[in-house]
Structure 1
Amino acid sequence: MDPQKEYVLRTVEERGVRLIRLWFTDVVGQLKSFAISPAELEAAFEEGMQFDGSAIDGFSRIQESDVLARPDAGTFELLPWGQSDETAARMFCDVTNLDGSPFEGDPRHVLKRNLDRARERGFNFYVAPEMEFFYFADGDGTRVPQPLDTGSYFDLTTADVASDLRKRTIHTLEAMGIPVEYSFHEDSPSQHEIDLRYTDALTMADNVMTFRLVVREIAMERGAYATFMPKPLAGVQGSGMHTHMSLYEGDSNAFADSSDDYRLSKIGRGFIAGLLHHAGEITAVTNQLVNSYKRLIPGTEAPAHVSWARNNRSALIRVPVTKSGKDSSVRIEFRSPDPACNPYLAFSVILAAGLKGIDEGYELPDEATTNVFELTSAERAAEGIAELPQSLAEALDVMEGSELVAEALGEHIFGWFIRNKRSEWSDYKAQVTPFELQRYLPAW
């Protein structure tokens, strides 16, 4: 038997694990789970666990419903919460058809397939997201959410509940093998950021799913509510998932070239050019909610225009300045994604766009040296700076015509995602909002 599977079986026995939770996600990135007992674990490794895929959004149709969950032993971790007398663990699963072939509706399989394409070119894809989120007193969606604090950037609020929640969250993440690089209070009231340390994209997608659950669990334990909704409050900054990334060839950073003025290699320039060229096409995946576009508006810190720069935070893509001799640190930061995305699909389309730029030799446009937010529409047009889609409907229109996204996601997920999100937009259009009532009812 595989050594990792033997380790899991031995650990389950030695630690008295009572339940093993098998995790996977639906197409929009909602975490799904079912539990098995230790007695079923060896069979799960060898044969997979059969379940009804038609019950999961974006998975199977009724007439082809059954699929298998095959646990990935390398993702085994003990869960640091639950009842004291019931030790539990989790593993992420790959979902397959009954014949063992990869299931096209499995987002984790989509990312693995895109990573395989990168490896065929000699590249490994590494990412590090900055995870922003809000704490509120409760999750009642019928009223304006109430923040737990009034802090802003880097405020040291040592005595408040939110700071304690963030500290306990970091300890829990570290206990589950998810290293944290930075954490601090963000700009908006009760908004916080925890930055995860660089690792390969598949591990990071698993980590993002775990992270979102941990943040919510720790908040719930203290009677609070955590949300990754991109824009829960009007008039303040929303939550992003700025994603730092690089390609490696063996132990060498393929984005780095110490002789270049920007310290960027031809590969790095091509990757940025690909992301810029296809940015509009992938936005529906990286920003998948109606609410996502309340964050991506001009004049806020979130990027609304397609440009790149070294140290200009108004740009969609930033190339952080690195110290001389630190080639391993050369990376790019893609600033439009938000933390409500499905990380498996988001990393897939980001990688596909970057690789397309490399393969096709896209030319990198000039760096944006001014604050893009302060330029007029005419000035941006003169500099060739396009605008990201400004609504979910617009983003879906652009995505629907994208061969790149269709290939990256596969026919099954591509078609289902568009249908699902068109339905979401249709539901949204039918609503009468408080804004409309306040603005129009008295006047008309």
Structure 2
Amino acid sequence: MASKKEKSGSSVGVSVEAGSYRVTRPDSADAVIDLIRQHEVQIVDLKFTDLPGLWQHFSITLPEVHDGLFEAGIGFDGSSIRGFQEIHESDMLLRPDPSTAFVDPMCDTPTLSVICDVVDPVLRQPYSRDPRYIAKKAENYLRQTGIATTCYFGPELEFFIFDSIRFGQDQHSGYYYVESAEGDWTTGRDEGAYGGGNLGYKPRYKEGYFPTPPHDTLQDIRSDIALTLQQVGVQVEVHHHEVATAGQNEIDMRFATLTRMADNVMIYKYICKNMARRYGKVATFMPKPLFADNASGMHCHQSLWRDNENLFYDAQGWALTSELCRWYIGGLLQHAPALMAFCAPTTNSYKRLVPGYEAPVNLAMSQRNRSAAARIPMYSDSPNARRVEFRCPDPSANAYLAFAAMMMAGLDGIENKMDPGEPLDRNIYDLPPEEARKVRQVPGSLDASLAALEMDHAFLRKGDVFTDDLIDTWLAYKRAREVDSIRLRPHPWEFYLYFDV
């Protein structure tokens, strides 16, 4: 099933290279209005991100689109948004960012989507809990330090596409059930009810990387997603099936600046989910939906630049990295327990971050070694390619908050010349126990990561990037809505373990 391939763009604005497309993003209210006329748009959809990291939206008709919309904004009820306002302070404003506008390829009605910033209508200032505002403040702080002018991020978001998912829990029962024709567990299933006999070719557990079709049944879906992303100005470099059975995928976007990449992550998730739905399937960025196979991560490649110079490169340095790069890594490793509260922010994240299994829980740096938390990719010796890959985050993260937090940790490492320790270029999983005990690890639960954030957040407060209000709200929300709600409910496996005690 093919997606619509209408190229979006305007004759005025900022050009963005996207593979074979040259997408021109508008840079003003007039340019947005020109884009609306050019594509005969009928609806404008205003999108913004709640505190946990899910896109919210509402739509307006064309008579409501004028210069005042982009200057003064439009009102909405902030008390109905997770992590935002209380009922007595509910009035909030959305201010559309013209540079984010794109013709929405997932809507049948001609629709222009615009990402918005959230504004406090009383103070007439950006809202302190708006995740996008925090990302922008982080970029401003970077420039103020004089260390660099730009931070680039290149996240690798993995995700699953299932045929269907069922789940539920009440006071006396609980279950989940995943359906996937690719699942290794379906080799013996009579699939007559699914439109034919069992066709075999199921990727075995941990063997989904990189068999061709017919093992890989999702090639066309991923291609449609990739081309649709390029259509809206998000450049894609590669896509492929990932390690796990049952439809694990990865589509890699070309790196971009911190806030722009966080915008791109939101577009990526939106298009993946909606394209899967067009095919009658369902996409999920939940880190660990399957037992006994690989989970989904979001390895984050990052580097600091001053204008056109990559500050992480040194031809004489270890792994071609500069001292500044290694200090940045030192900051990531030092603050990693607190970072996980934003980078691995769900209870399910810690089903992935289990010592001795596939996820990188070990707080060490290495070149090439995927068992270390901080890795220096060695595919190229080009100065422009030198970067650090921080491998602990997962795609359940709010990208605005996670990217900002990682960069702030790295900057703190530079400012305090934090030593990341000696490179660990061996397989950490095979270290003798006495050596393994010396390697620090990320926390083993969301509760522990939140406690680490509570104890260690001064580095986030620099430049007023993360406010105390934001951090306190995040801690309270996560503890009440997620940690406690999981702790209060019996797990199905506990019946197996303990019913006969």
Q: Output the TM-score relative to the length of structure 2.
A: 0.85
Structure 1 match to 2:97: 72
Residue 152 of structure 2, aligned match among 103, 126, 130: 126
Q: Output the TM-score relative to the length of structure 1.
A: 0.95
Secondary structure of the 1:302 match is coil
Return the letter of the residue paired with 2:269.
Answer: R
Structure 2 match to 1:90: 113
Secondary structure of the 2:335 match is helix
Return the letter of the residue paired with 1:289.
Answer: T
Structure 2 match to 1:281: 338
Whole-angstrom distance in 2 between the partners of 1:375 and 1:146: 38
Higher helix share: 1
Contact 1:270–1:364, Cα closer than 8 Å, also in 2: yes
**Does the C-alpha gap of structure 1 residues 214 and 405 become closer, same or farther in structure 2, counting only changes over 3 Å?**
farther
Structure 2 match to 1:51: 76
Whole-angstrom distance in 2 between the partners of 1:322 and 1:80: 34
Task: State the superposition RMSD in angstroms.
Answer: 1.6
Structure 2 match to 1:432: 490
Residue 447 of structure 2, aligned match among 387, 393, 406: 393
Whole-angstrom distance in 2 between the partners of 1:311 and 1:14: 48
1:375-386 to 2 correspondences below 5 Å: 375-382=431-438, 385-386=439-440
Give the CA deviation at 1:364. Answer: 2.7
| Larger mean Cα displacement after TM superposition, 423-432 or 37-46 | 37-46
Return the letter of the residue paired with 1:73.
Answer: P
Structure 1 match to 2:288: 231
Return the letter of the residue paired with 2:151.
Answer: F
In the alignment, is residue 242 of structure 1 matched against residue 265 of structure 2? no
Whole-angstrom distance in 1 between the partners of 2:263 and 2:156: 15
Contact 2:46–2:114, Cα closer than 8 Å, also in 1: yes
Give the CA deviation at 1:404. Answer: 3.1
Structure 1 match to 2:417: 361
Residue 364 of structure 2, aligned match among 298, 304, 307: 307
Structure 1 match to 2:133: 109
Secondary structure of the 1:256 match is coil
Cα shift readout 1:119-164 (whole Å, capped 9, x = no counterpart): 1123311011111001111132243212242331011125864222
Contact 1:322–1:330, Cα closer than 8 Å, also in 2: no
Contact 1:127–1:200, Cα closer than 8 Å, also in 2: yes
Contact 1:406–1:414, Cα closer than 8 Å, also in 2: no
Contact 1:307–1:315, Cα closer than 8 Å, also in 2: yes
Return the letter of the residue paired with 2:485.
Answer: D
Structure 1 match to 2:311: 254
Structure 1 match to 2:161: 135
In the alignment, is residue 178 of structure 1 matched against residue 272 of structure 2? no
Q: Give unpaired runs (5+ residues) of structure 2.
A: 1-12, 14-25, 168-174, 183-201
Structure 2 match to 1:145: 178
Contact 1:129–1:242, Cα closer than 8 Å, also in 2: yes
Cα shift readout 1:153-211 (whole Å, capped 9, x = no counterpart): 01112586422211111111111111111111111011111111111111110010111
Structure 1 match to 2:29: 5
**Does the C-alpha gap of structure 1 residues 429 and 405 become closer, same or farther in structure 2, counting only changes over 3 Å?**
farther
Structure 1 match to 2:199: none
Contact 2:73–2:95, Cα closer than 8 Å, also in 1: yes
Contact 2:27–2:99, Cα closer than 8 Å, also in 1: no
| Larger mean Cα displacement after TM superposition, 278-287 or 92-101 | 92-101
Give the CA deviation at 1:101. Answer: 0.8
Cα shift readout 1:375-410 (whole Å, capped 9, x = no counterpart): 25532234xx11110011111111111133651421
Give the CA deviation at 1:100. Answer: 2.4
Whole-angstrom distance in 1 between the partners of 2:343 and 2:433: 25
Give the CA deviation at 1:224. Answer: 0.7
- Aligned sequence identity (%): 33
Secondary structure of the 1:231 match is coil
| Larger mean Cα displacement after TM superposition, 261-270 or 112-121 | 261-270
